Structure 1
Amino acid sequence: MIAVTAAVLISGLTSPAFAQRSTQDQDGVRVTEAQSRTSRNRERQPRNQPKPPSAEEIQAGAQAVLTATNTDCQITEATLRGQSAAKESLYEVSCASGPGYLLLTSTPPQATDCMVLASSAEQARARDPNADVGSQCTLPANDNAMAVFTAYAKEAGVACTVDQGRIVGAKSGGAVVYEIGCAGVDGAQINKAGAGWEVVDCLELASAGSTCRFTTPQEQAATVKAMLAGSDAASCDVTQVRYMGKNANGAFYEAACNGADGLIARVNTENAVQQVYPCATASQIGGGCKLTTTPPAATPNS
């Protein structure tokens, strides 16, 4: 988080309404009281007061920080928010796509994602409602989290209607991890990885003991039900599912079926079912079924 106090650089001055009473100066020249006071105020003001920066200068200053930090942003709006005690300028920019940024002309320069700042503030306030969360983005165009989550999910190849999203944290290399919630189906966690994206389905995360906040068991069951369509297990009324892992042959999912024997399905990278194993005969597949109770194998009569 950027630890900057955004001080106002330029303050607007309003002049009081002077009564137009006549007075007389030392040379006997009659002037109004307003004229006399205005003259004295001019004498007190510094002669070389700097002009506020123009919109072009603000954008150029913000662009310099973006360039120095290798931050991809086509500026659509830029504002100068203030200065730190060390006279480091703080800018806010909105971008044609993706999140906006707070930019600080420190050494080295800093560019901080508005969504990361908001997520950090949310967590801090959850711990302490009175926490000082530092500078936050305020441009209306930067109140665009859902649009960003939707765009990132599309880039990552998560084919669903995005209905929720959040920042989970960051990986050891600094990549921000996002949770994507999907309407009616399994969600995912995604993060940028080089030129592409890494995607981990919530079903797979659950097998490792992690939890997706925006995905329900019913949505995961619906996801596996859709996988089974057109296969030998299409009639399974899926009530529970679990991700079992994958190998060179594909990924394996267990499904419990309402009123029928459960199964294990092997799917390819396009999630098309390649083979179905009934739970009764699947004991050698990843340790067998866990969601369906199968009777012990019959033993021959002695």
Structure 2
Amino acid sequence: MRFTGIGLAAALVVAAMTPAAAMAAKKPEAPAGGVDAKARERGMAETPALVTAAGLACTVADARFIGEDKKAGQSFYEVACNPGLGGVLMAKTEAKPQFFTCLETSKPSADGKPNSLACKLPANGDPVQALAPLVAKSGAACTLEKARSIGSNNTNSFFEIACQGGSGYILQTSNPASPAGEVKANTCLAYEPGGNLSCELTDRAAQLAVVDTLAAGSGKNCAVKDKRYALSTTTANWFEVSCQDGKGYMLEQANDGKLARAIDCANASFVGGGCTLTDSSVAQTEQNNLYTNLATKAGFKCKVEKYGIMPSQRASQEIVELKCSDRPDGAVAVFDGAQNTFLNCAVSEAQGFRCSFTKKDVAYPKITADLKTLGKGDCVVSDSRAMDKRTADANYLEVACSDGLPGWVIGYAPMSDKPKEVLSCLQAENLGACKLPTNKRKK
């Protein structure tokens, strides 16, 4: 059985998954011809206390006494709730009442005959749609078509649901099942067929059909060659597609069923170990060449050996860290139409981007030159850090000098590596205290 990292550890051992013991006991015969008036009267009188004792989030709207097994000391009641999930209560002297949803008690008996504990109250007439509040609580985008009870353990109940369009989920709820408790919906694709938890109401091919829809809406011009489910998180499902033209993508599907983003396989190594249907090393090489050409065209000569995508501020902007094989100083490249900027790895920290491929000390000669243009040519930069605060006009970099004398705070315009002002640590106190060892104010 395959589980995702979203809190299903409690489901690894699903013991006593159905009310089998209760169903195996001698069952009372239900009255013929629907709900008996006296049975309803007794049910309405006795179930409110049983509901409370069972810990159900249920306001009793209707109820009936089903019958009793005197030898076993068990009594059975059907209850309809508004709000709450309807089902059957099994009461036993000096024991906490047990509750089973109508979906559970609707299962035929072992001999194939109708279950004598099947729900009959009008409000419980559609046990599948009764799960709708649970589905809504889970956040899954699902219009219910079919459902079945898988069973329960001491803490959780499990249901399979099939949705319009072919998708399917396993619902994990509290036990007793209630919309008032925590509800999780996990795609059927996360479970291997045949396990304790697996789906039977939908097939994997139908569930994967959504990938074609996601790919068509990605804007990637991908004629899908192959596809697979990759993994799930608490907020999304991930799918890989390979395309007829040799490219491949990871598609992120949000919990509402819509496409959140499509990521080239070259940049998708963080998703479950990356693409397996596409040779991502080839894609990485192609992207290296692309960024080499873009950087050279923008005036930053760099044979890109490695790159990393960074968060951007708007859709038209792409921010990428570049590692160069032909120069020691990498850069954070900001590609934004005609406004392309290359931030060295010291200034980039002040701008909110930390390099991971290149050490920032490689950029110190450039920062030393920046100080010289601002009239502070007697300082050779030996260390740097981003100041704690910034202004609307500038981001600030604290620097230390190699001679051990107090250093400076340099202001750079947002998303720029061009220095605009230099301040002493005293002058920059409104930006936070200087913290480099040689710059700390002596007490």
Structure 2 length as normaliser, TM-score?
Answer: 0.45
Q: 1:109 to 1:246 in 2, by over 3 A?
A: closer
For 2:172, the equivalent position in structure 1 comes to 191
For 1:277, the equivalent position in structure 2 comes to 265
For 1:115, the equivalent position in structure 2 comes to 103
- Code of the residue aligned with 1:148 in structure 2: it is A
- Code of the residue aligned with 1:254 in structure 2: it is E
For 2:200, the equivalent position in structure 1 comes to 213
- Code of the residue aligned with 2:165 in structure 1: it is G
Tell me the alpha carbon deviations over residues 70-112 of structure 1, each in whole angstroms, 9 at most, x when there is no partner: 1222222222223322565432222234232234253214233
**Kept in 1: contact 2:212–2:224 (CA 8 A):** yes
Q: 1:91 to 1:267 in 2, by over 3 A?
A: closer
For 1:46, the equivalent position in structure 2 comes to none
Tell me the alpha carbon deviations over residues 113-153 of structure 1, each in whole angstroms, 9 at most, x when there is no partner: 2322223xx3x53xx547x9664433343331221133322
SS in 2 for 1:215: coil
Q: Distance in 2 between matches of 1:61 and 1:288?
A: 58
For 2:80, the equivalent position in structure 1 comes to 94
SS in 2 for 1:63: helix
Match of 1:68 among 41, 53, 57: 53
SS in 2 for 1:272: strand
Shift of 1:164: 1.4
Q: 1:256 to 1:8 in 2, by over 3 A?
A: closer
Q: Distance in 1 between matches of 2:235 and 2:168?
A: 24
Q: 1:295 to 1:218 in 2, by over 3 A?
A: same
For 1:156, the equivalent position in structure 2 comes to 138
For 2:123, the equivalent position in structure 1 comes to 141
Shift of 1:167: 1.4
- Code of the residue aligned with 2:143 in structure 1: it is T
For 1:255, the equivalent position in structure 2 comes to 241
- Return 206-215 or 56-65, whichever deviates more: 206-215
- Code of the residue aligned with 2:85 in structure 1: it is G
Shift of 1:159: 1.1
- Code of the residue aligned with 2:157 in structure 1: it is V
- Code of the residue aligned with 1:157 in structure 2: it is G
Shift of 1:288: 5.7
User: How high is the sequence identity, in percent, across the aligned residues?
Assistant: 25
Q: 1:242 to 1:75 in 2, by over 3 A?
A: same
Q: 1:141 to 1:266 in 2, by over 3 A?
A: closer
**1:172-191 pair list within 5 angstroms:** 172-191=153-172
Q: Distance in 1 between matches of 2:39 and 2:168?
A: 45
For 2:186, the equivalent position in structure 1 comes to 200
Q: 1:143 to 1:288 in 2, by over 3 A?
A: same
For 1:16, the equivalent position in structure 2 comes to none
For 1:42, the equivalent position in structure 2 comes to none
Q: Distance in 1 between matches of 2:272 and 2:43?
A: 60
Shift of 1:296: 9.3
SS in 2 for 1:145: coil
Q: Distance in 1 between matches of 2:237 and 2:270?
A: 15
Q: Distance in 1 between matches of 2:162 and 2:236?
A: 25
**Kept in 2: contact 1:232–1:276 (CA 8 A):** no
Q: Distance in 2 between matches of 1:183 and 1:133?
A: 28
Q: 1:81 to 1:161 in 2, by over 3 A?
A: closer
Q: Distance in 2 between matches of 1:55 and 1:169?
A: 28
Greater RCO, 1 or 2 (C-alpha within 8 Å, sep 6+): 1
Q: Is 1:236 equivalent to 2:200 in the alignment?
A: no
SS in 2 for 1:241: strand
Q: 1:288 to 1:74 in 2, by over 3 A?
A: closer
**Kept in 1: contact 2:216–2:222 (CA 8 A):** no
For 2:28, the equivalent position in structure 1 comes to 6
Shift of 1:184: 1.4
**1:29-108 pair list within 5 angstroms:** 58-86=43-71, 88-96=74-82, 97-108=84-95
Tell me the alpha carbon deviations over residues 40-63 of structure 1, each in whole angstroms, 9 at most, x when there is no partner: xxxxxxxxxxxx979655412111
Pairwise CA RMSD: 4.2
Q: 1:293 to 1:208 in 2, by over 3 A?
A: farther
Q: Distance in 2 between matches of 1:146 and 1:106?
A: 31
Q: Distance in 2 between matches of 1:187 and 1:176?
A: 17
Shift of 1:239: 5.7
Structure 1 length as normaliser, TM-score?
Answer: 0.63
Match of 1:267 among 248, 252, 267: 252
- Code of the residue aligned with 1:198 in structure 2: it is K
For 1:226, the equivalent position in structure 2 comes to 213
Q: 1:205 to 1:4 in 2, by over 3 A?
A: same
**Kept in 2: contact 1:4–1:135 (CA 8 A):** no
Q: 1:54 to 1:191 in 2, by over 3 A?
A: closer
Shift of 1:177: 0.8
